[in-house]
Amino acid sequence: MKTIGLIGGMSWESTAIYYRLINEGVRERLGGLHSARLLMWSFDFAEIAERQHADDWAGATEMMVDAARRLEAGGAEALVICTNTMHKMADDVQAKVAIPIIHIADATAAAMKAGGVSHPLLLATRFTMEQDFYKGRLADRHGITPVVPDAAGRDEIHRIIYEELVRGVVTAPSKDIYLAEVARARANNPRIDGLIMGCTEITMLIGQGDFDVPVFDTTAIHAHAAVEFALSG
């Protein structure tokens, strides 16, 4: 079994889900008392969030590179960045380490292609919904054209992530807001044929049972890709 390095704590709420899913995946595949070989670097998310909202992506990249190098030095054979947003600097981090990064967008794209989805609605942080590092990768590398909510919708989705979900707060009113935003986006764009839960905390709030189109839980998909790598070869 290969050792996976997790870059987590962004937030720890979803990193805990990664830890559980990867270990469950290994146990399901190997049986008995097996669990995953994992190393973890867990950030103080306040330090990351401060840089995100200050548009200090260079500073955030330095922190991510440092974490990646520490995990590589510790024996990790691949890296999993346990957040969609911080894949903004995945290429910069990859350039500084010799071990591969298992990219969340690539894993999600593979799942969407298998499901025949080409125009998914992307729910995520404002950074992921509005910048090109994630949407552009889906389009350029995989031929998938993501759709995002309008400006008001993006504001509400982002607000709930940072004010509630990353703090472990899950409420029925916020779920209703997400459901309404999805319904409004689909009414405005009939081409939407799926939904990307493009922030790893969103899995705490909504899921496949809430919708009649395929839902792609990036946390679960990414964790599964980590298990596949760990048990390959």
Q: Residue 140 is inside which H or E element, if any? A: helix 132-142
Query: What digits encode the pLDDT tens for the residues 162-212?
Result: 999 999 999 999 999 999 999 999 999 999 999 999 999 999 999 999 999
Cα separation of 110 and 144, whole Å? 10
pLDDT at 233: 75
Instruction: Characterize 149-165 residue by residue with b for buried, 16 or more Cβ atoms within 10 angstroms of its Cβ, and e for exposed.
Output: beeebbeebbebbbebb
Cα separation of 40 and 28, whole Å? 21
Cα separation of 168 and 119, whole Å? 30
Beta bridge partners of 101: 79
pTM, entire model: 0.95
pLDDT at 99: 98
Cα four-point dihedral sign 23, 222, 120, 113: negative
Known catalytic residues are 83, 199
- The C-alpha angle with vertex 152 and arms to 146 and 153, in degrees rounded to 5, equals 45
The domains found in the chain, sorted by start residue, are: 4-103+221-230 (3.40.50.1860), 105-217 (3.40.50.1860)
Cα separation of 184 and 57, whole Å? 32
Given a cut of 50, the residues of the chain with pLDDT beneath it are none
Token digits for 184?
A: 């409004």
Within a 10 A sphere around the Cβ of 29, how many other Cβ atoms? 13
Residues near 35 by beta carbon (within 8 Å), at least 6 away in sequence: 23, 26, 27
Q: Residue 110 is inside which H or E element, if any? A: helix 104-114
DSSP state of 82: S
User: Coil, strand, or helix at residue 97?
Assistant: coil
In the chain, the amino acid numbered 157 is I
Cα separation of 75 and 128, whole Å? 30
